[in-house]
Chains A and B, each alone.
Chain A
Amino acid sequence: DARVTQTPRHKVTEMGQEVTMRCQPILGHNTVFWYRQTMMQGLELLAYFRNRAPLDDSGMPKDRFSAEMPDATLATLKIQPSEPRDSAVYFCASGLDSSYNSPLHFGNGTRLTVT
């Protein structure tokens, strides 16, 4: 079964440190999403790429967050500097944009704890 792979699965870091999360989308998918999930807010969209081009990053705090797709097999989400309020589970998802009715496939997330 093809799947979205996220690394690392868990990350504990101190406030002020840089955090990089990586995602390998499913081969052939041309849309990639980054979401953040907390108990209070549920799933929030941080960034959306189509054919590696960023289309929507309005949900991302731009002073500290950045998202890139250096190539079709890798998407990254960076936080610099990290803050305790960034503690959450970060999900990457990929899909086929050829049909708006195609499902998104999620990775199993990176659980980030900032102390």
Chain B
Amino acid sequence: KNQVEQSPQSLIILEGKNCTLQCNYTVSPFSNLRWYKQDTGRGPVSLTIMTFSENTKSNGRYTATLDADTKQSSLHITASQLSDSASYICVVAGGGATNKLIFGTGTLLAVQP
């Protein structure tokens, strides 16, 4: 069964600290892996998209890694800010005609002053 699992479910960190969110998937065939940030009351916003051949991709203070062999990805947030408080959703695009997206249930991050 195609699944995307994220850990931890929730996380609290102090402003200025770094953190790493994890994503494991069992989706096959694989097309790409995406990280989205969802603020409360808003729709998800794309942070990164990585294909099979990409190991790392950065977007400002966000750095995503992908190990396609172990089917694991991580999202590292550097020097966290209060505005980083949000849900971070890992999404895997399966190959095929409809390019179906499999969503994880997200990691809820709270950055405290």
Same complex: yes
**Interface set of A (CB-CB < 8 Å, partner B):** 4, 33, 41-45, 48, 55-56, 91, 93, 97, 100-109
Picked from B45, B98, B105, the residue with its CB within 8 Å of the CB of A42 is B105
Asked if A108 and B43 make an inter-chain contact with CB atoms under 8 angstroms apart, the answer reads yes
Complex interface bits, B12-48 against A, C-beta within 8 A gives 1, otherwise 0: 0000000000000000000110100000011111100
Number of interface residues of B (CB under 8 A): 23
Chain B residues with Cβ below 8 Å from A42 are 89, 103-106
- 8 Å CB contacts to A: which residues of B42-70? 42-46, 49, 51
One of B43, B99, B105 near A106 (C-beta < 8 A): B43
Q: Does B93 contact A (CB under 8 A)?
A: yes
Contact B98 A4 (CB under 8 A): no
Chain B residues whose CB sits within 8 angstroms of the CB of A104 once the complex forms: 44, 46, 101
Q: B71 near A: Cβ within 8 Å?
A: no
A107 with B104, Cβ < 8 A, contacts A43-B89, A100-B99, A101-B32 known: no
Q: List 24 contacting pairs A-B, 8 Å CB cutoff, sorted by A.
A: A41-B105, A42-B104, A42-B105, A42-B106, A43-B44, A43-B89, A44-B103, A45-B101, A48-B98, A55-B98, A56-B100, A93-B43, A97-B99, A100-B31, A100-B95, A100-B99, A101-B31, A101-B49, A101-B51, A102-B49, A103-B34, A105-B46, A106-B44, A108-B43
Tell me the bound Cα distance from A56 to B103 in angstroms. Answer: 16
Residues of chain B with a CB closer than 8 A to A33's CB? 101
Query: For the complex, what is the distance from the CA of A102 to the CA of B95, rounded to whole Å?
Result: 14
Q: What residues of A have a CB within 8 angstroms of the CB of B45 in the complex?
A: 106
